[in-house]
Structure 1
Amino acid sequence: MSRLLFYRYVNVLQFSRLTLQRGARLLCTQTPAEHLTVKQQSNGIRTITLNNPKKRNALSLPMLNSLRDNILAGIDSDDLRVIIIAANGPVFSSGHDLNELTSSQGRGYHTKVFEACSEVMTLIQDIPVPVIAMVNGVATAAGCQLVASCDIAVVSEKSSFGTPGVNVGLFCSTPAVALGRAVPRKVALEMLFTGKPISAQDALLHGLVSKVVPDERLEEETLAIAQRVCQASRPVVALGKATFHRQMAQGRDAAYETASRVMVDNLALRDGQEGIRAFIDKRKPLWTNRAEKAHE
């Protein structure tokens, strides 16, 4: 087995160095605003709640920095298995704070805003644990981008999604990156060109969200998925998530080559062998939840 490949895709204990490097140029750009997001964790499930309903949970630079910090906190801990991103109020997120995007703020500040946003969106896909969006309301522009960037999205029936930037003279170019990778091209372009929102059911039909549930069952259904994720081995899930996103950016043949090598690496994990033995022995597996090798 290739030692380089193993450490590149399996050893989640090395992830903290990568994430610290990714966030370094954005650190200290704003005074911490932890109250803008609320972080809670129990039984392996971390819930990060966007907590500025008076401003429609706008993804201001302080909000983005707070969200990033809540995602990265203890990311390598064996106790963290899945992250849920939720929101207080009737709006999940209205996108960027337009007050930050006026000419008076200047190009330098605008650059910081979009760099921070891109950092958060890519971070969600690069961390070793799955991220679930729990949406109970409106998600527009960068808010829609946030939903599209998450690995799974569970939404209430009253939720809606849109990219209305074109209507205020600011095309949703960065939301288009995530949206265009989540829904068919023509669906994405209609949303982007017209700014017209789509319903929760249409979002499900086009693949933007994973599940639509009655409002009163949103938390229950989201937690059920999170708890199911927690039953699996942490390093196996981390390996699978990293490989999925990597192969999606490759051509078919390269994707199969990557996935085949990673399957072999997966078999070299102690938890990989434990799962197979448990299946053969007809018992529940006892995961180590650590990226330890059973063999070379």
Structure 2
Amino acid sequence: MTDAQFQFIRYEVVRGLATITIDRPPYNVLDIPTMEEICVALERCQAATDAKLLVVTGAGNKAFSAGVEVADHTPDKVDRMIDVFHGIFRLLQEMPMPTLAAVNGAALGGGMELALGCDMIVAAAGSKFGQPEIKLGVFPPVAAVLLPRLIPPARAMEILLGGDTILADEALRIGLLNRVFPKESFETDLAAFVEPYLALSRTALLSARRAIRVAADKPFAVALDAAETVYLEELMSTSDAQEGLAAFLEKRKPVWRNQ
């Protein structure tokens, strides 16, 4: 089902795949109204009982997003801009299902931060990533938090403090990306990448993501207790967990009820 109420984005859920597409050609710049729409779409996705995976992408092939509108950084707008922009990441962190950024062009500034806020990132060959804010006399708060958690801290420092861009192949090499696909087959390769997730139990996917999140940045014993609680108290009482085990023992394909 496609939601036609948005002006600057597209949102739909098809066969368990939720997709938010930033649609402000040619560079999908994130102004305040666009970010407000993204927040609304994320809230709807959180409540979507049929969504197994969320993909965030950009329309066209020039840019995933070239970043937040520079004019929205002025003193009269910056507080609202930061509130809405950072609201996107709070919603992404709270998203029950896994999230994937599909970067099909430049991901710069707030655009790169939006990709960093997702659980996984795939990109078209030749896509550029960068945090150029330092060259404007500012810095990217979200990237300052997330980037050193995702790649070696010294490399994150270089990107954040130097403001330079890197290409998709380099981003893959340092562990920022999951895959790089040829630009000419990006849509086909993206569909093939997400298809295995759509064949899985929604219940298991949500439980696994929750376990990863609740265990993050905790000492091992505390983290294991937290993951164990999700496993025993949330997952193992579900019909899908019982169905998956039964199907394995009976040598048949599981029939998921997604509950």
Say whether the fold is shared (TM-score over 0.5).
yes
Question: Out of 65, 87, 102, which is 1:93 matched to?
Answer: 65
Q: Can you list the C-alpha shifts for 1:40-61, whole angstroms capped at 9, x where unaligned?
A: 332121221111124x212211
Alignment pair present for 1:251 and 2:188: no
- 1:257-276 equivalences under 5 Å are 257-265=225-233, 266-276=235-245
Task: Specify the SS of the correspondent of 1:232.
Answer: coil
Deviation at 1:74, TM superposition (A): 5.2
- Contact residue 214 and residue 227 of structure 2 kept, 8 A: no
- Report what 2:255 is aligned to: 286
Which residue is equivalent to 2:111? 143
Task: Give the gaps of 5 or more residues in structure 2.
Answer: none
Q: 1:49 pairs with 21, 30, 41, which one?
A: 21
The higher relative CO (CA closer than 8 Å, separation ≥ 6) is in 1
2:55–2:99 contact (8 Å) kept in structure 1: yes
Taking structure 2 as the reference length, what is the TM-score of the superposition?
Answer: 0.92
CA distance in 2, matches of 1:96, 1:220: 29
Query: Is 1:234 aligned with 2:202?
Result: yes
Paired residues for 1:169-184 under 5 Å: 169-184=137-152
Kindly provide the CA deviation profile for residues 143-183 of structure 1, in whole angstroms up to 9, marking residues without a partner as x: 11111111121101110111110001111222222222221
Q: Tell me how far 1:82 sits from its aligned partner.
A: 1.5
Listed one character per residue, the Cα deviations across residues 115-137 of structure 1 (whole Å, up to 9, x for unaligned) are 21122113123211122111111
Q: Which amino acid aligns with 1:200?
A: A
Counterpart residue number, 1:18: none
Give ranges in structure 1 of 5+ residues lacking alignment: 1-32, 291-296
Q: 1:120 aligns with which of 66, 69, 88?
A: 88
Preserved CA contact (<8 Å) 1:134 1:218: no
Name the counterpart of 1:160.
128
Where does residue 82 of structure 1 map in the other structure?
A: 53
Would you say the 8 A contact 2:207–2:231 is kept in 1? no
CA RMSD of aligned residues (A): 1.6
- Aligned CA distance change for structure 1 residues 202 and 74 (closer, same or farther; 3 Å): closer
Cα gap change, 1:34 to 1:80, in 2 (>3 Å): same
Q: CA deviation at 1:217?
A: 1.9
Find the residue that maps to 1:73 and give its secondary structure. Answer: helix
Q: Which residue of 2 aligns with 1:3?
A: none
Q: Secondary structure at the match of 1:203?
A: helix
Q: Give the length in aligned residue pairs.
A: 253
Deviation (angstroms), 1:244:
0.6
TM-score, normalization by structure 1: 0.81
Aligned-residue sequence identity (percent) comes to 28
Given that 1:78 and 1:234 are in contact with CA atoms closer than 8 Å, whether structure 2 keeps it comes out as no
> Which amino acid is 2:35 matched to?
L
Q: Sort the Cα spacing of 1:120 and 1:74 in 2 relative to 1 into closer, same or farther, 3 A.
A: closer
Question: What is the letter of the counterpart of residue 16 of structure 2?
Answer: G
